[in-house]
Amino acid sequence: MTYVNDGIESAMAQAKAAAGDKDVQVRGAYTGQRALEAGVLDEVQIHQIPVLLGRGRRLFDVLPSEIELEIAQVIDTPEATHIRYRVRR
């Protein structure tokens, strides 16, 4: 594990360098928001389940501006709907 304290851009650059040709995943609302804000995410995946919790961190609550997404894939199952979006630049 490596801790990075000089910003999301640096963290993503280090993760991509370490991953080589593999994908880098970002998990959690706060980190995802910072990565979207910095423009360092290529895709967003949402796994929507039929349960409303009513608490927790909102996934897209504090984005600084509008971010356009393009649907890349939708998989619908009885347990969840899995949506993969490409971030438009």
In a domain, 17, yes or no: no
Residue 47: its pLDDT value, please? 93
Is 2 inside any structural domain? no
Q: Is residue 52 domain-resident? A: yes
What total number of domains does the chain contain? 1
Q: What is the DSSP string of 15-83?
A: HHHHHTTS-----SHHHHHHHHHHT--SEEEEEE-S-----S--TTTT-SS---EEEEEEEE-SS-EEE
Of the pLDDT bands very low, low, confident and very high (cuts 50, 70, 90), residue 9 is very high
In-domain check, residue 11: no
53 occurs within a structural domain: yes
What is the reported pLDDT for 2?
83
Portion of the chain with pLDDT greater than 70, in percent:
100
- Over residues 16-54, the pLDDT tens digits come to 999 999 999 999 888 898 999 999 999 999 999 999 888
Q: pTM, whole model, 2 decimals? A: 0.81
Query: Domain for residue 69, yes or no?
Result: yes
Domain that holds residue 72: 28-87
In a domain, 1, yes or no: no
